[in-house]
Amino acid sequence: MPTSESSYDESVNEIIPYRKIEEIEGFRPERGMNFKIKDKNYSIVLMSVAKNAPYKDKISEDGKEIIYEGHNLNKRYCKNKDPNTFDQPIASPNGKLTENGKFMKASHFFKDGLKDPEKIRVYQKIKPGMWTFNGVFKLVDGWEEKSGGRMVFKFKLLLTDEKVDGYQINKDNLKEDNRIIPGEVQIEVFNRDKGKCVKCGSTDHLHYDHIIPFSKGGTSKDAKNIRLYCRRHNLEKSDKIGK
């Protein structure tokens, strides 16, 4: 993916260290929600579907839809109380829109036909320091709902192959064979394969590979059907079962 700082060829289900996200994006995205930071023409979200994740993000089985949960009130405004006891804010106490507010505003502009949907690069955490690139999504909806006795924001993101800042997701990544793998399965596979390609032991340019492709009855939900491959062996395999 070309940027002003570097050039990097990302693909869905590729594993990358956090430092690579910094290199790709040209800054350190410490927040989970980053609305057009550094005057970019897209936004960035960091997400997790692990059981102990702080927010309830969800990915559809085919990997093409994400329901992303908004973020809590900043701790400095919570007066030593648990942020999870407060409604998620659309604006901070000083009146400025939070990231929730910015994403909600963008979703309303799209639904009202005033602007094109906001484009969002999505990175998913699999373990501390290690992430996968889920692709480029468009923000098509936003709403509030009750959860755990408080109001939280939800945002609907749909996978797209539209060009974003010089990067366009390879349309092959939209094939049925290349579904996004659930976070808990990613973690299990990464730990089982010890963060290395099972063919050559490489730790560089790793991908999650389906042993039996979706088109041939394989699944993304079972770790037994997923393994770690380096980029070279992933490309060599093509769609041959078990090769």
At 108, the pLDDT band (50, 70, 90 cuts) reads very high
Confidence (pLDDT) at 13: 73
At 175, the pLDDT band (50, 70, 90 cuts) reads very low
Q: By C-alpha distance, which of 73, 72, 75, 37 is closest to 45?
A: 37
At 87, the pLDDT band (50, 70, 90 cuts) reads very high
Q: Which amino acid does the sequence have at 58?
A: K
- Is residue 99 domain-shared with residue 159, that is, in the same domain? yes
- Is residue 44 domain-shared with residue 164, that is, in the same domain? yes
Of all residues in the chain, what percent carry a pLDDT higher than 90? 47
Inside any domain, residue 129: yes
Domain membership of residue 204 as a residue range: 184-237
Q: Is the pTM of this model over 0.75?
A: yes
- Is residue 168 domain-shared with residue 188, that is, in the same domain? no
Q: By C-alpha distance, which of 59, 74, 69 is closest to 13?
A: 59
Domain count, the chain: 2
- Is residue 122 domain-shared with residue 69, that is, in the same domain? yes
- Is residue 120 domain-shared with residue 231, that is, in the same domain? no
DSSP state of 242: T
Confidence (pLDDT) at 3: 41
Q: By C-alpha distance, which of 141, 124, 122 is closest to 43?
A: 122
- Is residue 225 domain-shared with residue 154, that is, in the same domain? no
What is the b/e burial string over 34-51, where b = at least 16 CB atoms within 10 angstroms of the residue's CB?
bbebeebebbbbbbbbbe
Inside any domain, residue 10: no
Q: What contacts 196, CB < 8 A, 6 or more positions away?
A: 202, 203, 206, 228
- Is residue 131 domain-shared with residue 231, that is, in the same domain? no
Confidence (pLDDT) at 109: 98
Q: By C-alpha distance, which of 165, 155, 168, 164 is closest to 12?
A: 168
- Is residue 36 domain-shared with residue 136, that is, in the same domain? yes
Inside any domain, residue 89: yes
* Continuous segment of H or E residues that includes residue 44: strand 43-47
Of 130, 151, 175, the residue that ends a domain is 175
Inside any domain, residue 27: yes
